[in-house]
């Protein structure tokens, strides 16, 4: 079995270290991409495959189509190192709306329940985050997720109107920071472990505050030491590889 190449030995292609068409990408490399809204993570993979003419590409942590931000792609021999990047902590900027919830816990589906928000204050949010969303916590994956139940993706069951019991998962919340709060809108910075559903965090936060809440926007800003400020846009990639 091939040995994974240490991350520090892999070239990282960014807005400053721009890839060149003459490079043999099969030898391994990491691309930092700013995923656009409405794009699936796999659509970004397909786009890069077309650009560099290489099938061996994988992403180190998916992003929902609604989400934007840092998508780390490993190419060629670097795909053996994906797990090491996936295990690194992630940072997100989350826009949360109190007073309503949706089946998907985000803006991808229609509002199904509403609740009052007048009682929610900056202090109650701070206290709840500190008490309930700090360190190791349990989460239930949303029905609209790629988790499998008896071999079928949950989101496929959800689209048919089905709901099944999901097992709780233990994830870690390393840090939360309130960036802005103007009731009922909250902007929250979240630093968390692999496997954390920020959508579930938004939903659970609403429930703990005796209301409802859902995610209206999400942007991944960091994976380990890789930052969104370094990322290449799809437009920039097109400029590079279509010249």
Predicted local distance difference test score (pLDDT) of residue 174: 98
| Catalytic residue set | 64
Predicted local distance difference test score (pLDDT) of residue 142: 76
Predicted local distance difference test score (pLDDT) of residue 146: 62
CATH superfamily for 7-87+224-241 is Pseudouridine synthase (3.30.2350.10)
β-bridge partners, 181: 186
Predicted local distance difference test score (pLDDT) of residue 167: 81
Please list the pLDDT of the chain residue by residue as tens digits (243 residues): 557 788 888 999 999 999 988 899 999 999 999 999 999 999 999 999 999 999 999 999 889 889 999 999 999 999 999 999 999 999 999 999 999 999 989 998 999 999 999 999 999 999 999 999 999 999 987 766 665 655 666 666 656 666 766 788 899 999 999 999 999 999 999 999 999 999 999 999 999 999 999 999 999 999 999 999 999 999 999 998 886
Predicted local distance difference test score (pLDDT) of residue 140: 81
Kindly report the backbone phi and psi dihedral angles of residue 182, in degrees, each rounded to the nearest multiple of 5, phi listed first: -140, 95
Nearest Cα to Cα of residue 203 among 96, 122, 93: 96
Nearest Cα to Cα of residue 109 among 71, 66, 60: 66
Ordered DSSP codes for 88-148: S-EEEEEEEEESEE-TTSBTTS---EE---TT--HHHHHHHHHHHSSEEEEE---SSSS-E
Two domains, one topology: 7-87+224-241 and 90-223: yes
Predicted local distance difference test score (pLDDT) of residue 149: 52
Residue tagged 């780390």 (tokens): 72
Contacts of 172 (CB under 8 A, 6+ apart): 135, 136, 137, 192, 193, 196
Kindly report the backbone phi and psi dihedral angles of residue 23, in degrees, each rounded to the nearest multiple of 5, phi listed first: -75, 140
Residue tagged 């939360």 (tokens): 176
Kindly report the backbone phi and psi dihedral angles of residue 88, in degrees, each rounded to the nearest multiple of 5, phi listed first: -75, 155
Grouping H, G, I as helix, E, B as strand and the rest as coil, residue 170 is: strand
CATH superfamily for 90-223 is Pseudouridine synthase (3.30.2350.10)
CB 215 within 8 A of CB 64: no
Residue tagged 């007048």 (tokens): 118
Question: Domain spans of the chain?
Answer: 7-87+224-241, 90-223
CA 207 to chain centre: 22
Using alpha carbons, list the distances in angstroms from residue 23 to 27, 61, 76, 87, 230: 9, 25, 12, 28, 20
């Amino acid at each position: 079995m091939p040995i994974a190449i240490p991350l520090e030995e892999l070239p990282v292609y960014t807005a400053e270290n721009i890839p060149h068409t003459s490079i043999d990408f099969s030898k391994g490399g990491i691309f930092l991409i700013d995923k656009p809204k409405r794009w699936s993570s796999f659509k970004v993979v397909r786009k890069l495959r077309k650009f560099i003419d290489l099938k061996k590409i994988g992403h180190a942590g998916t992003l929902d189509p609604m989400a934007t931000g840092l998508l780390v792609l490993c190419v060629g021999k670097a795909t053996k190192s994906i797990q090491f990047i996936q295990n690194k902590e992630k940072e997100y900027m989350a826009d949360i709306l109190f007073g309503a919830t949706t089946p998907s816990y985000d803006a991808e589906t229609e509002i199904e329940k509403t609740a009052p928000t007048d009682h929610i204050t900056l202090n109650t949010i701070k206290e709840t985050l500190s008490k309930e969303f700090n360190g190791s916590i349990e989460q239930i994956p949303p029905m609209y997720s790629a988790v499998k139940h008896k071999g079928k993706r949950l989101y496929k069951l959800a689209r048919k109107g089905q709901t099944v019991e999901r097992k709780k998962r233990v994830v870690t919340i390393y840090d939360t920071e309130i960036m802005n709060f103007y009731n009922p809108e909250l902007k929250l910075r979240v630093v968390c472990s692999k496997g954390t559903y920020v959508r579930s965090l938004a939903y659970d936060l609403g429930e703990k505050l005796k209301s409802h809440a859902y995610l209206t926007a999400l942007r991944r800003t960091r994976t380990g030491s890789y930052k969104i400020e370094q990322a290449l846009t799809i437009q920039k990639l097109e400029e590079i590889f279509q010249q």
